[in-house]
């Protein structure tokens, strides 16, 4: 069992909030070591995604997946640089960005593993099916572990225990819940065949679940980490909306309005959080 103690002594350390509302972080000398471990998992997940894309860039994996994998790897590299230099003030925001990218790649890998057979039923390339399922499952597994490791360290460090105002917290929870439910329904509204439970679940795993989880979590994050998470979600949504092969494969001729509304929703949550005045 891998046990790592994380993180930022300035921003992400466990905090005590006094009756007057002041925050007293506790320094953690093991933070750089924990950051290096998390960086390793993020970079490993990125390499697994690149391996999958290098073997087969098509179907459920697409040009946007390359960008997501690149951003995931970049987050890992930046974390490693910060840890080696002892500059931990931005550990939280960088780690959150990596977790968002890893979560979406994990969802994509799960959907690909489950539905590769259906996809190759249309192409006739069954000889690649087993290898692609194994690669997609491997990439999904590493991305999932990376998310779990980072989130556990964020929880242990206090990055997910900030003193957030009730308005901002409720906005994050409601916004994330709307995104989770409305996105798959909107994407499947173009054709009845896309409204079955299997299709809706695929939309949720690929897109809305990672985004919604990140948006909801901002209700407990420190402000820098929350804004980083929301920015990462917006980037991910825009990448997915611009990815015509992926969108056409999964939702056919469904309009792009769900992506536009998702961006506006996330931006609204970000504005509420940015204006929140409760000390964090």
pLDDT at position 126: 61
Please tell me the distance from the alpha carbon of residue 48 to that of residue 155, in angstroms, as a whole number.
26
User: Could you say which DSSP state residue 208 is in?
Assistant: I
pTM over 0.85: no
pLDDT at position 190: 62
pLDDT at position 217: 95
pLDDT at position 69: 95
* Helix 166-187 × helix 209-217 angle, to 10°: 170
pLDDT at position 102: 96
- pLDDT, one tens digit for every residue, the chain (280 residues): 333 333 333 334 444 433 333 333 343 667 888 889 999 999 999 999 999 988 876 667 878 889 999 999 999 999 999 988 777 778 899 999 999 999 999 999 998 888 766 666 555 556 677 788 888 899 999 999 999 999 998 888 888 888 888 999 999 999 999 999 988 888 766 666 667 787 888 888 988 999 999 999 999 999 999 999 999 999 998 888 876 544 444 444 455 678 888 888 999 999 998 887 654 4
pLDDT at position 119: 61
E strand or H helix that includes residue 138: helix 129-157
pLDDT at position 172: 94
Separation in Å, CA 194 to CA 180, 210, 232: 17, 20, 27
Please tell me the distance from the alpha carbon of residue 151 to that of residue 164, in angstroms, as a whole number.
18
pLDDT tens string 154-168: 888 888 888 888 999
Tell me if 134 sits within 8 A of 51, measured CB to CB. no
């Amino acid at each position: 069992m891998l046990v790592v103690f994380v993180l930022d002594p300035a921003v992400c350390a466990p905090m005590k909030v006094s009756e007057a509302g002041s925050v007293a972080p506790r320094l953690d000398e093991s933070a750089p070591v924990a950051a290096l471990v998390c960086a390793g998992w993020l970079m490993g997940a990125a390499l697994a995604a690149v391996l999958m894309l290098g073997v087969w860039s098509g179907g459920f994996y697409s040009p946007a997946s390359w960008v997501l994998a690149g951003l995931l790897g970049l987050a890992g590299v930046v974390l490693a640089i910060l840890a080696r230099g002892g500059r931990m003030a931005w550990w939280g925001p960088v780690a959150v960005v990596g977790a968002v990218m890893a979560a979406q790649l994990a969802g994509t890998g799960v959907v690909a593993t489950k539905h590769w057979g259906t996809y190759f039923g249309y192409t006739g390339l069954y000889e690649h099916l087993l290898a692609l399922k194994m690669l997609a499952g491997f990439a999904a597994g590493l991305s999932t572990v990376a998310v779990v490791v980072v989130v556990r360290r964020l929880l242990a460090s206090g990055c997910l225990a900030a003193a957030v105002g009730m308005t901002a917290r409720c906005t994050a929870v409601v916004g994330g819940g709307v995104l989770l439910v409305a996105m798959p329904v909107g994407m499947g509204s173009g054709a009845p065949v896309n409204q079955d439970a299997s299709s809706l679940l695929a939309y949720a795993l690929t897109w809305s679940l990672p985004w919604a989880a990140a948006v909801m979590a901002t209700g407990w994050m420190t402000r820098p980490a929350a804004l980083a998470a929301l920015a990462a979600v917006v980037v991910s949504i825009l990448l997915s909306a611009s990815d015509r092969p992926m969108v056409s494969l999964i939702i056919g001729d469904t309009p792009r309005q769900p992506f536009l509304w998702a961006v506006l929703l996330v931006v609204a949550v970000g504005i509420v959080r940015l204006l929140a005045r409760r000390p964090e």
